[in-house]
Amino acid sequence: MSATTIVLALLLGVSAGVLSGMFGVGGGILFVPTLLALGLAQLEAQGTSLLAILPTVVVGTLTQRRFGNLRVQAALVVGLASVAGVEAGARLVTHVPEHLLRKLFGALLFLVAAQLVVRTRRRPRYPEPS
C-alpha cells in the first residue's frame, strides 16, 4: 500500500465512523464506493468492507448502549437471521459477473437514497419530546 492509499483509507475510516455514529448508516454504503475508488475490484471492496465494519459496529454499539438507544433483543434477532443471508449472499455473489455486481450495487444505493427522500417527506411516527 502506498502512503497516499493509507491516508485515503484513514480518511475513509474516520468519515465512515462519524457518519455511522451520527446516522447509523451501513458501512458498506460508505466503504464500498471509496474502496472502489482506491482501486479494489467490486468483490474485493465488498468483502473488505465486511471486515472493516466490525470495529465500527463494536464501538458504535457500546456507545449507543450507554445512551440507552439499544434494543438488544431486536438486534440479536436481526443479527442472527442475517447470518444465513450473509452466507447465501457471499456464495451467490461469486457467480455474478463484476459488471452486473456494480450495477446491482448502484441500484441498491439508488433505492436507499430514494427511501430516505420519501421518509423525510412523511410525518414522523414518534413526535419529538417537548
Q: How far apart are CA 127 and CA 130, in angstroms?
A: 9
Query: 52, 27 in Cβ contact below 8 A?
Result: yes
Residue 92: in which H helix or E strand, if any?
Answer: helix 72-93
State the helix-helix crossing angle for 42-66 and 72-93, rounded to 10 degrees. 180
Average pLDDT, the chain: 85
Could you report the per-residue pLDDT of 31-71, keeping only the tens digit for each? 888 888 888 899 998 888 888 888 878 888 898 899 999 99
Exposure letters 58-81 (e unless 16+ CB within 10 A, then b): eebeeeeeeeeeeeeeeeeeeeee
Work out the average pLDDT over 91-113: 92
pLDDT above 80: residue 128: no
Q: What is the pTM of this model?
A: 0.70
Please state, in angstroms and rounded to a whole number, the distance separating the CA atoms of residues 12 and 30: 8
With cell 444465513, the residue in question is: 84
User: Has residue 19 got a pLDDT over 80?
Assistant: no
Residue 33 is predicted with a pLDDT of 84
